[in-house]
Amino acid sequence: MPTSPSDADPCGPYDLAVIGAGPAGLAGAVAAADQGLRCALIDAGARPGGQYYRHPAPGLRAARPDRLHHHWPVFAELADRLAAHRAAGRISYLPHHHVHLLERREPWRLHAATGADGSGRATLRAAAVLLATGAYERQLPFPGWTLPGVVTAGGAQAMLKAGLVLPGRRIVVAGSGPLLLAAAASLTAAGAEVPAIVEASTYLGYARRPGVLAATPGKLAEGVAHGAALARHRVRLHRASAVVEAHGGRGVAPAGGWERVEAVTVARLDADWRPVPGTERRIECDALAIGHGLVPQLELATELGAATRVVPDGTVALRVDARQLTSVPGLWAAGETCGVGGAELALAEGELAALAIAGRAPVAGLLSRRRRLRAFAELMAAAHRPGAGWSDWLRPETEVCRCEEVTAGAIGEAVERLGATDARTVKLLTRAGMGWCQGRMCSSAVACLAGMAEPVADSRPLSGPVRLGDLAALPED
């Protein structure tokens, strides 16, 4: 039996393996370790914090990483507790571990590609698994979205938080969801000019449930703070509007320079997100940060048959019980995998999951916080569900799947002429979603274009690319 951190087997068996070191995973791992469980905290990234608490590498010598973050003290405290548990041998923190295959065994087996370039491999064992794999950004394609200078809203924030780099000097922020305000606030704080935030929804959804809003004053205060910061920088918010095209040019760069975005066309949307003709206006910019909210990353669980639910924003999330247990025994989930709801909710769910895994009663305050924040999340989700009319801004030649270069026209043909009625069949007939990102970029759009009424979870037996030689090392039994 391992007696000290130095002779503990890094492959386990652990009492608990936590996949993802963002807010939910961090909170879950430290809370479980507080209860005496020996944990592995496994993360694909280089540093703990996930996307939300993303921060610069120490080598960049950022003087004030906290200036780009809300709630930095919360992260600082979690990071301190993580350090203490690591020192005591209760948590093995494993960065650069991408779990691509989860095996339901006793104990569980987690197969990961390791190292910054994914060239290593590891198999970990654990009695229980907490899935805190977060979410990825939802994109809706539009003409010009593949131009250099067009980045995702989360990508723009990641560049800033991790690399202290801005994607441009004059950045239009567009799409839908609360991430836009946060992204615009960070970008302006870092010195960029944001001529416009273009939000597709009307935000009216929020107003329909004043009770939920009143119960989450923190969220309101956050919105007000963003709003005040943006007003100070004279950022204009266009509601019920969308970037319907990005225009490229070579600008003032030396002749022969690379084409990149130099302006966008913004149009008003009707209630179904159909662009209203005659409302187009051109906004000059040198970058566009765009995103339509987040999609929970579930495949490790859904490949094991875990039950899911449809969230009001049109995404699919894991179904969990009051203890954060999925329908698969021994597999727990917290944070965005249970429906996108933000860092505060993820922290509460991670801690609740840890308590339940340790067999402890939940803390009452945590339960009520989760209830409030989850209700708020569902309200937000409903407000930012894409309207069916968005595809009107596509042209037949607009690329939808960038990996495989599949156009909207090719997808339309598969649907109208070849009998594809769902995203899987579109994929089989056009290759949309078969490339490197395995549909993370395009599957929401493809599902809409296939006319699917209800979303279904993407199928990804492997959660990421794996060297064949590493698969060959999987045990026979």
Residue 285 CB partners (closer than 8 Å, separation 6+): 168, 170, 171, 172, 195, 261, 262, 263, 264
Closer to other proteins by CB, 43 or 404: give it: 404
- Which 101-120 positions form the footprint of other proteins (CB under 8 A)? 101, 103-104, 109, 111
d(CA 277, CA 255): 35
Residue 87 interacts with other proteins (CB under 8 A)? no
- 71-101 burial, b if ≥16 CB within 10 A, otherwise e? beebbeebbebbeebbeebbbbbbbbbbbbb
Least gap, CB of 457 to other proteins (angstroms): 12
Beta bridge partners of 128: 16
Among 431, 441, 444, 446, binds other proteins (CB under 8 A): 431
Among 414, 432, 443, 456, binds other proteins (CB under 8 A): 414
Closer to other proteins by CB, 57 or 474: give it: 474
Closest-CA residue to 293 (of 181, 406, 456): 181
Residue 368 interacts with other proteins (CB under 8 A)? no
Least gap, CB of 440 to other proteins (angstroms): 12
Closer to other proteins by CB, 329 or 461: give it: 461
Residue 424 interacts with other proteins (CB under 8 A)? yes
Q: In what order do the strands lie in the sheet with 150-152?
A: 150-152, 287-291, 171-175, 196-199, 236-238
Per-residue x/- marks for other proteins, 451-470, CB under 8 A?
--------xxxx--xxxxx-
Residues in the chain: 477
Taking CB under 8 A as the binding criterion, the range among 75-83, 160-168, 178-186, 423-431 that sits at the site for other proteins is: 423-431
Residue 131 interacts with other proteins (CB under 8 A)? no
Residue 429 interacts with other proteins (CB under 8 A)? yes
User: What type of residue is 11?
Assistant: C
d(CA 314, CA 264): 27
Residue 303 interacts with other proteins (CB under 8 A)? yes
Closest-CA residue to 201 (of 263, 325, 293, 286): 293
Residue 305 interacts with other proteins (CB under 8 A)? yes
Closer to other proteins by CB, 176 or 430: give it: 430
Lookup: tokens for 34: 């507080």
Binding site for other proteins (CB under 8 A): 101, 103-104, 109, 111, 303-305, 404, 414, 417-422, 424-425, 428-429, 431, 434-436, 438, 459-462, 465-469, 471-477
